[in-house]
């Protein structure tokens, strides 16, 4: 914009154009920058054009031309040469005008672009708009759409570590997919160590399964690949000292044995079941510490019909593939309205690595009986790959239900309250059941995300009460095919 030299008043929409040769460059290009997960527009992103096509250009060189996105995530770069460019968009978190993969978010287009429109005095895309003028802002042509993502950190090192209990600790790494050759605790055998990575493999939980008295300080040795000063992964052995927390040490000291609470000497677990989710997710059992013995055959599942007649049923138990402390328990009978279901865990059914036994508990659950609840059936056709399906609330921040599919099917979403919902579908190209981000140097985009567009043309479904709706999704049409 142009500003008044005396008072600094800005003339919005006016620009001062500099010539790069004998004539003024007259081309322009436009686009929109959106978040890769929500597909919502992102304001304040710097969009840059480069004539240098090297991978290092965005790190080391100044752009040929640049612009900022407005409230609609829209940008227009005008008065540029009719030539070839690479286009990048960076949300500069620390505002230092340098792309830092560990702090900033970035977007790019795989192919080389060339502007195809000429600047005019009344070109709609180059006019100044009131950001509240929805019709005017949405009418502007969008030539390029860029999806903003944060890259995974590339430098690998131990970022943090802490002792969390008498026989437990964690180690976190700067980058995902930590490469660990071996690890051990001084004074304990290798088979006495239980370990578990999180899905991104940048955080490791550790437990010591031993009856030996826990020392005041655990000495952990981690033999892993660490990034050196030249950016190459090299073998490194780090000695991590894990002292016990003073409060925890005081709790289990001999002088405090009389003051120990019941939960201090009990195998702690949570058994939960929600009526609107139990058909899909079953009863969820989560332990505070790994268990070393379990009597799952002692679990008792019973249910009462509307006449209060009691029945028993067998259950199946499945351990979570991502969390060794979590189990899903499902009966071999179908859940029915008007029935009451009970799962009882008897006394001393489980024992954890601390040697503590579990207490007994019982959980009761019934299917929702509210006649005003609604149901959405998602009919999936043309599924020729793996996809992650999420039902989101109106804020688009909470996942209410989740499915992972790889073939045609009908997905039920029952017991929904009246309100606004949206459905997000992610193309899981590498079939790891995780939404993967992109990588600039590898020229890899984040996994593609789409939102279901409902009959009224929007991403939000206005679900009335006491309604059952069917929505058909053609995955071939939505994603244009799926690479295997």
Q: What is the pLDDT of residue 481?
A: 60
CATH pick for 158-251 out of 3.40.50, 1.10.260, 4.10.260, 2.60.40: 2.60.40
12 versus 445: the higher-pLDDT residue is 445
* 442 vs 429: CA distance, rounded Å: 16
- Residue pair 274/368 in contact by the 8 Å Cβ criterion: no
pLDDT at 369 over 70: yes
Q: What is the pLDDT of residue 257?
A: 61
Q: What is the pLDDT of residue 211?
A: 87
120 versus 50: the higher-pLDDT residue is 50
pLDDT at 238 over 90: yes
369 versus 10: the higher-pLDDT residue is 369
3-state secondary structure of 378: strand
Say yes or no: domain 374-479 is CATH 2.60.40.10: yes
* 396 vs 204: CA distance, rounded Å: 30
Q: What is the pLDDT of residue 216?
A: 92
Mean of pLDDT values over 165-184 = 95
CA distances from 298 to 127, 272, 334, 357 (A): 73, 18, 21, 14
* 163 vs 167: CA distance, rounded Å: 8
pLDDT at 475 over 80: yes
pLDDT at 483 over 80: no
Say yes or no: domain 264-365 is CATH 2.60.40.1220: yes
pLDDT band at 22 (very low <50, low <70, confident <90, very high): confident
- Nearest 5°: phi and psi at 264? -75, -15
3-state secondary structure of 233: strand
- End-to-end, the C-alpha distance of the chain in Å comes to 48
**Please, where in the chain does CATH 2.60.40.1220 lie?**
264-365
pLDDT band at 223 (very low <50, low <70, confident <90, very high): very high
pLDDT digits (tens, 9 = 90+) for 390-422: 999 999 989 999 999 999 999 999 999 999 999
pLDDT digits (tens, 9 = 90+) for 104-160: 999 999 999 999 999 988 899 999 899 999 999 999 999 999 999 999 998 999 999
Element (DSSP H or E) covering residue 29: strand 27-35
Both tokens of 10, joined, read 């800005």
Q: What is the pLDDT of residue 437?
A: 93
C-alpha triplet 427, 429, 433: angle, nearest 5°? 75
Q: 109-144 in b/e burial notation, b at 16+ Cβ within 10 A?
A: beeeeebebebeeebebbeebeeeeeeebeebeebb
Mean of pLDDT values over 300-324 = 96
Q: What is the pLDDT of residue 213?
A: 86
Say if pTM beats, i.e. exceeds, 0.95. no
448 versus 252: the higher-pLDDT residue is 448
pLDDT digits (tens, 9 = 90+) for 93-114: 888 888 998 889 999 999 999 9
How many of the other CB atoms lie within 10 Å of CB of 438?
20
How many of the other CB atoms lie within 10 Å of CB of 9?
9
pLDDT digits (tens, 9 = 90+) for 242-274: 999 887 776 666 656 666 777 778 999 999 999
**Residue recorded with tokens 């040697």:** 355
List Cβ neighbours of 212 (8 Å cut-off, separation of 6 or more): 187, 188
**Residue recorded with tokens 């007259």:** 26
3-state secondary structure of 119: coil
| Strand-pair category, 461-463 with 419-427 | antiparallel
CA distances from 224 to 115, 169, 181, 198 (A): 48, 17, 5, 17
List Cβ neighbours of 262 (8 Å cut-off, separation of 6 or more): none
pLDDT at 10 over 90: no
List Cβ neighbours of 461 (8 Å cut-off, separation of 6 or more): 376, 420, 421, 422, 423, 452, 454, 469, 471
240 exposure class (CB count in 10 Å sphere: 0-12, 13-18, 19+)? middle
Which homologous superfamily is 2-148 in? Immunoglobulins (2.60.40.10)
Highest mean pLDDT among 214-218, 219-223, 439-443: 219-223
List Cβ neighbours of 147 (8 Å cut-off, separation of 6 or more): 34, 35, 36, 39, 107, 438, 445, 446, 449
pLDDT at 2 over 90: no
- Residue pair 203/173 in contact by the 8 Å Cβ criterion: yes
**Please, where in the chain does CATH 2.60.40.10 lie?**
2-148, 374-479
- Nearest 5°: phi and psi at 51? -85, -20
For the chain, the helix, strand and coil percentages under 3-state DSSP, each to the nearest 5:
10, 40, 50
List Cβ neighbours of 96 (8 Å cut-off, separation of 6 or more): none
- Residue pair 63/82 in contact by the 8 Å Cβ criterion: no
pLDDT at 220 over 60: yes
238 exposure class (CB count in 10 Å sphere: 0-12, 13-18, 19+)? middle
Q: What is the pLDDT of residue 484?
A: 44
226 exposure class (CB count in 10 Å sphere: 0-12, 13-18, 19+)? buried
Three-state SS sequence of 259-274 = HCCHHHHCCCEEEECC
Mean pLDDT of the chain: 92
Q: Where are the alpha helices (DSSP H) in 340-380?
A: none
Q: What is the pLDDT of residue 1?
A: 62
Widest CA span in the chain: 93
């Amino acid at each position: 914009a142009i500003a008044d030299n005396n008072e600094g008043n800005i003339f919005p929409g006016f620009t001062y154009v500099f010539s790069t040769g004998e004539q003024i460059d007259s081309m322009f290009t436009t686009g929109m920058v959106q978040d890769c997960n929500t597909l919502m527009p992102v304001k304040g992103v710097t969009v840059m054009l480069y004539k240098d096509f090297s991978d290092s250009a965005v790190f080391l060189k100044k752009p040929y031309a640049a612009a900022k996105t407005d409230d609609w995530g829209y940008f227009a770069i005008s008065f540029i040469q009719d030539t070839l460019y690479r286009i990048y968009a960076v949300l500069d978190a620390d505002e230092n005008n340098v792309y830092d993969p560990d702090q900033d978010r970035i977007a790019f287009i795989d192919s080389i672009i060339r502007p195809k429109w000429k600047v005019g005095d009344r070109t709609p895309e180059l006019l100044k708009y009131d950001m509240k003028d929805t019709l005017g802002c949405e009418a502007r042509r969008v030539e390029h759409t860029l999806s903003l993502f944060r890259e995974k950190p590339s430098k690998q090192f131990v970022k943090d570590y802490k002792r969390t209990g008498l026989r437990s600790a964690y180690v976190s790494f700067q980058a995902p997919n930590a490469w660990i050759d071996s690890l051990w605790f001084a004074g304990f055998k290798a088979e006495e160590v239980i370990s578990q990575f999180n899905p991104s493999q940048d955080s490791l939980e550790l437990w010591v399964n031993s009856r030996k008295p826990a020392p005041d300080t655990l000495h952990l040795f981690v033999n892993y690949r660490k990034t050196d000063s030249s950016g190459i992964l090299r073998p490194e052995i780090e000695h991590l000292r894990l002292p016990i927390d003073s409060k925890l040490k005081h709790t289990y000291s001999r002088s405090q044995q009389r003051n120990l609470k019941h939960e201090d000497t009990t195998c702690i677990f949570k058994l939960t079941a929600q009526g609107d989710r139990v058909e899909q997710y079953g009863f969820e059992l989560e332990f505070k510490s790994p268990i070393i013995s379990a009597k799952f055959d002692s679990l008792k599942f019973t249910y009462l019909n509307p006449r209060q007649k009691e029945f028993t049923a067998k259950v199946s138990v499945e351990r979570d593939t991502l969390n060794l402390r979590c189990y899903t328990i499902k009966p071999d009978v179908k859940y029915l309205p008007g029935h009451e279901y009970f799962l009882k865990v008897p006394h001393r059914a489980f024992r954890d690595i601390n040697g503590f036994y579990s207490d007994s508990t019982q959980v009761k659950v019934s299917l929702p009986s509210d006649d005003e609840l609604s149901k959405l059936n998602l009919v999936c056709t043309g599924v020729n790959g793996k996809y992650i399906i999420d039902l989101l609330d109106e804020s688009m921040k909470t996942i209410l239900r989740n499915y992972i599919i790889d073939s045609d099917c009908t997905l039920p979403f029952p017991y929904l309250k009246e309100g606004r919902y949206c459905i997000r579908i992610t193309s899981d190209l590498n079939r790891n059941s995780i939404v993967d981000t992109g990588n600039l140097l590898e020229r890899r985009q984040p996994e593609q995300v789409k939102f279901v567009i409902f009959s009224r043309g929007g991403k939000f479904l206005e679900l009335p009460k006491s309604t059952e709706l069917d929505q058909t999704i053609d995955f071939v049409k939505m994603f244009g095919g799926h690479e295997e």
